[in-house]
Amino acid sequence: MSKNINIKSDTVVRNDFELNTVNGLKILQAKSLLKYQDFFTHAFSTRIGANTPKPYDAFNIGRHVNDERLLNDASDNRRKLCQALNLNYNNLTIPWQKHTDNIAIIDKKVDLEGCDAVATRTKDLPILLTFADCVPIIAFDPDLKLICGIHAGWAGTAQNILSKALAQMVSIGSRRESIIVAIGPAIGKCCYEVGQDTLTKLKNSCSDSFDFSLVLNTGLKENYVDLKALNLYQAIFFNVGVVSVTDYCTACNSDLFYSHRRSFGLTGRHGLIISL
């Protein structure tokens, strides 16, 4: 990342998100994307919407635990999420996320092993990614009608997965200034303490001229990192048109979101879902 780029003051929109209730599900949506809801559906799901038992309560969509009841329940919840948003569950594409920088561009439902960003221009092909503290990101080009869902934990962030996904969009034909990026709920700098090794990798992913203290919670401790801000800067330095970022911290808001860190790993997953 370089800092020698002019940042337009109207590029970043902070906290322009709204919690909406659709068929009993509570979902978080970005106003910057809702403008295009005639042909683009998006949502960040929450814990609210069904009756999945503790500690995965109550709307888990993750199939990450070897427990048949939980697996079935997660599938039911995925179906319910699609139905609530009027999306085609039979085409629902869910990559096996592995904290990589692999990006897939798809035009039909496929198995994606070890993939953390999925883009499409195909209608009626919903994409779902799952999260518990990692950063969920939507990139959308309304001109080209191109959508991309991105999973950026610290490892994906350190590999600049957002910048790489945006570059893929440009390689398909997007203009940078047409792209809208929405950064959803993730663990905040209030709660995300990392070790020296992780800190070094994140710092090394930025250009030498970038002031890394901008993404540290120096008021608390030097090793509390703002992963959302790191991705925000990736989007800004790419010169996208708009970046929306939510204030929600998943660890501070455990009534609404799952937090791997807060629950010591024993928890469910919320999701990012997008479809043309």
- Which residues lie near Zn ion (CB under 5 A)? 188, 190-191, 249, 251-252
- Whole-number minimum distance, CB 188 to Zn ion, in Å? 4
Q: Which residues pair with 270 in a beta bridge?
A: 131
Q: C-beta of 259: minimal distance to Zn ion in Å?
A: 9
Question: Shortest Cβ distance from residue 207 to Zn ion (Å)?
Answer: 28
Q: Which tokens sit at 263?
A: 């629950």
Residue 245: name the closest of 32, 21, 39 by CA. 32
Our CB check for Zn ion shows the closer of 101 and 133 to be: 133
Q: Is 103 exposed, middle or buried (0-12, 13-18, 19+ CB in 10 A)?
A: buried
- Nearest CB to Zn ion, comparing residues 38 and 255: 255
Distance, in Å, from the CA atom of 60 to the CA atom of 74, rounded to the nearest integer, reads 6
**Which runs of E-coded beta strand occur in 38-179?**
41-45, 103-106, 117-120, 127-131, 135-141, 146-152
Q: Report CA dihedral (222, 183, 171, 234) to the nearest 10 degrees.
A: -20
Identity of the residue, 85 or 199, whose beta carbon is nearer to Zn ion in the bound complex:
199
Taking the complex as a whole, how short is the minimal distance between the CB of residue 3 and Zn ion, in angstroms?
A: 27
Q: Which is nearer to Zn ion, 12 or 252 (CB)?
A: 252
CB of 154 to Zn ion, least distance (A): 15
Give whichever of 2 and 218 is closer to Zn ion, judged by the CB atom.
218
Angstrom distance (rounded) from CA 187 to CA 47:
15
